[in-house]
């Protein structure tokens, strides 16, 4: 069972602990994404050294390859990937959005055409719970209907009704006390539908609640306002998980409105393309201005990449297309994000989160929106 204790508040921002069968998790927290049982370019020891407390796997992808039954036969996902900490598994509902060209959504579930070999598979609430039970994750997500930000009101309304039905079916199909099932709130950008979905989920008394249907193309101000509206109506004594959000500025803004948990492929994905985070913003290490820089990427960073290597060396690795570049860059970006969460927890505990937020946002240069849109389009077409 998941238990959530709040130990400090600073405005709407909150810090606390989630207790799982595999130990306590300090919140707010960020979950690196191990879609296929691996955080790309890293191993579990790297993750531990970065301060990772929990990782996210994807039930849909692991069902397709290598297969949830194979993983079960080999001792479960923790043993299979060599990770002793908690794991949260996403259900595949988001793939119903991102792989729209390969799926058929119907009342019983989602029928996909595999992006690997074209074979046809149907996920139902019952089958996705069986898959996640085989994987043995600590926190499971229900099957849900995730729609784009420009979806029509009637489509979103139908979607929350289907999601409510599916979550109830997932709850009834759940087996085992060590795996908990979160509820999921949909409703797009429509506040009345969000409120309706929240009321539905609260009626089920789930141990935690995820906020879905955001970061799917809406403007940032709408992401923040909708996340805040939703978080404010969810139970105070349950963890709130905003799915698919991971830009540093988004993490700060959404912690400010009361969100506790996040995941996103963005920090690791942009790292593999040479985009690295600092407190001043994101820059591309492949730029010629780093060719002769003997200092680390970020002199304030305590990651092993910055402790051991110069920006000039990382620049060289990317130019030479050496695989080590992807590992060192990923280590840096994930440590940056995890350290950001640690700093926010400290600021909340000190009652100084408002000042911390202002200082961070005053200095951090946000990536160009057109660049972000292109990155997102590439991500949605990938299997990351």
Q: What kind and span of H or E run contains 282?
A: strand 281-284
Contact, 144 vs 186, CB < 8 A? yes
Contact, 190 vs 153, CB < 8 A? yes
Catalytic residues: 90, 263
Contact, 71 vs 135, CB < 8 A? yes
329-338 in b/e burial notation, b at 16+ Cβ within 10 A? bbbbbbbbbb
Model-level pTM? Answer: 0.95
Summarize pLDDT for 256-305 with one digit per residue, the tens: 999 999 999 999 999 999 999 999 999 999 999 999 999 999 999 999 99
Class level of CATH domain 3-264? alpha beta
- List, in order, residues 6 or more apart from 361 with CB less than 8 Å away: 249, 252, 253
CA 22 – CA 121 distance, rounded (Å): 32
Residue 311 DSSP SS3: helix
Length of the chain: 384
Bridging pattern class, strands 180-181 and 139-140:
parallel
Q: Where are the domains of the chain?
A: 3-264, 271-363
Contact, 344 vs 353, CB < 8 A? yes
Instruction: For residue 247, report the phi and psi dihedrals to the nearest 5 degrees.
Output: -65, 140
Among 363, 336, 275, 359, residue whose Cα is nearest residue 52:
336
Summarize pLDDT for 32-64 with one digit per residue, the tens: 999 999 999 999 999 999 999 999 999 999 999
Bridging pattern class, strands 109-113 and 183-185:
unpaired
Summarize pLDDT for 104-155 with one digit per residue, the tens: 999 999 999 998 999 999 999 999 999 999 999 999 999 999 999 999 999 9
């Amino acid at each position: 069972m998941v238990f959530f204790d709040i130990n400090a508040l600073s405005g709407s921002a909150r810090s606390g602990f989630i207790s799982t069968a595999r130990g306590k998790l300090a919140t707010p927290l960020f979950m690196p994404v191990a879609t296929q049982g691996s955080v790309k370019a890293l191993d579990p020891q790297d993750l531990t050294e970065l301060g990772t407390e929990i990782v996210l796997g994807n039930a849909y992808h692991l069902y397709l390859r290598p297969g949830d039954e194979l993983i079960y036969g080999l001792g479960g996902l923790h043993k299979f990937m060599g990770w002793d900490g908690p794991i949260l598994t996403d259900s595949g509902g988001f793939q119903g959005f991102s792989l729209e060209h390969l799926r058929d959504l119907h009342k019983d579930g989602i029928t996909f055409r595999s992006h690997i070999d074209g074979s046809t598979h149907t996920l139902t609430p019952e089958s996705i719970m069986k898959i996640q039970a085989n994987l043995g994750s600590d926190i499971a997500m229900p099957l849900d209907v995730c729609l784009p930000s420009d979806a029509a009101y009637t489509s979103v309304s139908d979607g929350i009704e289907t999601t409510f039905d599916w979550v109830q079916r997932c709850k009834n199909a759940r087996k085992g006390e060590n795996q908990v099932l979160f509820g999921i709130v949909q409703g797009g950008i429509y506040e009345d539908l969000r409120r309706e979905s929240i009321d539905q989920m609260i009626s089920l008394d789930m141990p935690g609640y995820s906020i879905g249907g955001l970061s799917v193309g809406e403007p940032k101000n709408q992401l923040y306002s909708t996340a805040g509206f939703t978080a404010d109506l969810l139970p105070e004594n349950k963890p709130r998980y905003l799915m698919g959000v991971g830009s540093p500025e988004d993490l700060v803004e959404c912690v400010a409105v009361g969100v506790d948990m996040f995941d996103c492929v963005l920090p690791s994905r942009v790292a593999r393309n040479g985009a690295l985070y600092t407190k001043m913003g994101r820059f591309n290490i492949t730029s010629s201005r780093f060719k002769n820089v003997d200092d680390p990427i970020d002199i304030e960073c305590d990651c092993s990449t910055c402790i051991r290597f110069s920006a000039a060396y990382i620049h060289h690795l990317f130019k030479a297309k050496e695989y080590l570049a992807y590992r060192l860059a990923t280590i840096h970006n994930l440590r940056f994000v995890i350290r950001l969460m640690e700093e926010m927890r400290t600021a909340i505990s000190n009652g100084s989160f408002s000042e911390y937020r202002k200082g961070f946002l005053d200095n951090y240069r946000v990536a160009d929106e057109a660049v972000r849109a292109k990155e997102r389009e590439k991500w949605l077409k990938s299997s990351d």
